[in-house]
Amino acid sequence: MRFARVIGNLVASQKVDGLEGVKFLVVQPLDLHREPEGDAYIAVDATNQAGMDELVFVIASKEASFALPVEFVPVDAAVVGIVDDVDDRPLYDANSVNWKVFLKQPE
C-alpha cells in the first residue's frame, strides 16, 4: 500500500465483465515526502469517491481485485482509501522529554 495523487480520469468505451460502473483513475505514486516518484499509472477506484488532486491509498497486484465488488477481475492497482490528513510528527521527539526524570541524579 502506498500514497498516490489522483491526476486524471480514464474513460473506457468497453470494460471487462465485473468492471461496469467502476471508475478508472490516473494516479501518480508518491515517495515518503509525498513528492512524485516514478511514472503515473491507471488504478480502479474501489472507493467510488476519489477525485482530482486527492491523496489516496493504492494497493497493487492480486489484492487490488479483492477491493472490488466482483473479485478476480483483471486489475493491477486499486484505490482503497482517501487520505484526509497526514500526521508527519515523529513517533518520538527527544526534545519533548525531560531526561532528568530518567537519569539517576548524583546525591
pLDDT single digits (tens) 34-90: 999 999 999 999 999 999 999 999 999 988 988 888 878 899 999 999 999 887 766
Which pLDDT band, with edges at 50, 70 and 90, does 100 fall under? Answer: low
- For 11-42, the DSSP string reads --SS--TT-TT--EEEEEEB-TTS-B-S--EE
Torsion, Cα of 78, 82, 86, 92 (10° steps): -60
The domains found in the chain, sorted by start residue, are: 2-101 (2.40.50.220)
Among residues 45, 103, 37, 106, the alpha carbon closest in space to that of 78 is found at 45
98 Cβ contact list (under 8 Å, min separation 6): none
pLDDT computed for residue 87 by the predictor: 79
Average per-residue pLDDT for the chain: 87
Segment holding 66, helix H or strand E = helix 63-66
